[in-house]
Structure 1
Amino acid sequence: MAGSGEHIKALVRSHGSGDDDAFYSVALQVAAQAARQGHHRLATDLKTAVERSRADRPGKVTSIAQPRGDLAELVVATHPAVGLRDLVLSEPLDGQVRRVLAEQRQRKNLLDHGFEPAHRLLLEGPPGTGKTMTAAVLAHELSLPLLTIRLDGLLSKFMGETATKLRTVFEAAERQRGVYFFDEFDALGGDRAGNDVGEARRILNSFLLFLESSSSASLIITATNHRTILDRALFRRFDMVLDYELPDTTQATAVMRRRLGGLASRIPWTELAADAAGLSHADLVRAAESAAKSAILTGNARVGLDDLRAALRSRHSGSCGS
């Protein structure tokens, strides 16, 4: 067929870049051309294949099952199943997360009035306090893929070409709507007083340039466990800064009860306040899981107070949240 060579090249390019929408568009162009040339069976088969492939996507989630090309080296794509109901945060923080969702859901309305929805977020706080889970929840609630970029690994693996790799990620964010989660941001955004020259300064400046020029098509989220080492000038580059803290007694109870479900009936939660104090969300989840397994292995239908207390004390003695 005339023009089929160009179509094949376009198919290869779109497949290599992971752009499924472009791939399907070219495939339908091939089908239309086949129909015009009288190859009706081929046209029908192509259209059917495209429709079935699109239908196989998980729900209405934008699919990046496996990033391809250069992007495959840089990101890990997932489709999280955790929603707002699974996220236990303080009331102010919960309100900020809901505001981000509201602005993203009303994105077109805001843009029509000349306003961009919040899409550049900095999450900061101790390990295990819900930063990664927040990114997952935003992706799930917006039916978008979560693409995670570990900045510490990016720096160590691609030193000398990190800025180029960052450009690849931000260009993907323009083409493919998603939640792009840059973890370990302190690896990149540490106080620039020590980075006045050299590669680290150039990488940071490149990241900030890409960040400022990014459109609201995707959510760009960065996370750090060490806010105090970040250059203060960085904070104004973000639309919102979300501060995470260790859970209070009420939140700690909610985290454990949610994880244990029906196994947690008749537990005097107030008696566990001292044991839960100082533990992160991640530690509390792991303690609840450990207590549940202990109960199951001993043939009990419910988790007891002693099981939970022992599990919480174990988290204090040797483990830390992540």
Structure 2
Amino acid sequence: MGLLEQASRVRTRMRGMSILDPDGREVGRSTEATFSSGRLDSEDLEVLREDLVRMVHEHTRAGVEYLFGDSITALDEDETGVRVDFAHGPSRTFDLVVGADGLHSTVRRLAFGPEEHFAHHLGSYLSVFSADNFLALDDWQVWLRGGDTGFGIMPVRDNTELRIAFGFESVPLAHDLRGGGALRQLVVDKLASMRWEGTRLAEAARTAPDFYCDAMAQIRMDPWSRGRVTLLGDAGYCPSPLSGQGTSLALVGAHVLADCLARAGGDHRTAYARYERRMRPFVTLNQALATENPGGPASEESVAQAKNALSLDD
């Protein structure tokens, strides 16, 4: 996409990490790898999500129509296209519809059925949010686990901010708890009960403008396409953040889907079938990274196998 140089300029640059016990005492450290990005001498780039989104948007907005603040409410397909109804804008007809709308995909629900048919809960929830660097971390991560909760904290933006990833084991939560501020309050309460920095972490979660929390789950379905509708990224094959590969699968999937459509000469059936044949083995290996070693990272060998399991030139 021509973004490598730009991505390299904004990559995270960690020196290493510390592993802490529940009282904040260091029980291990590494200057060779971190849990968030793997080996520090790797050619892989770790980029903040918001930076990647900004780069892709800036790179594509001149030739792509973006509609913000709207959502799809219905799909109606015939032999010529798909009529899409929107919550706010007028209905429009498109040749094809690609659902790339995440774990809780509306396109998937409308085209394939309820989410519970495809979502597989992995036994935990993850919250991610920002805070000022009140720990004075200097290109250094800290990780802590206590009982059924734990977190990883990394400094970003030239060490001026923190990104805090807090996880806790849980069965699937009731739907009414996932909405509004109930889930945030649950995270705040769990953080407040932690012995090391619980008070400041809880306050950061309570006030963060970018607070996010969701189940660690995978989407497993066969096939990914129905008629003129197909699915991409988390909507079709979410590996969960536990794999570390969600964004990679989405970007690779977009490249492969575009290539298959270009080669098919307008025959979406052929394109969709080829897209799935090429992507499914790659998806399977990457999803397995999240379940190989529950509570810890997958092996370096498995990661290397998964990320190199597909050729973009196929």
TM-score, normalised on structure 2? 0.28
Structure possessing the higher radius of gyration over alpha carbons: 1
Taking CA–CA contacts closer than 8 Å with sequence separation of 6 or more, which of the two structures ends up with the larger relative contact order?
Answer: 1
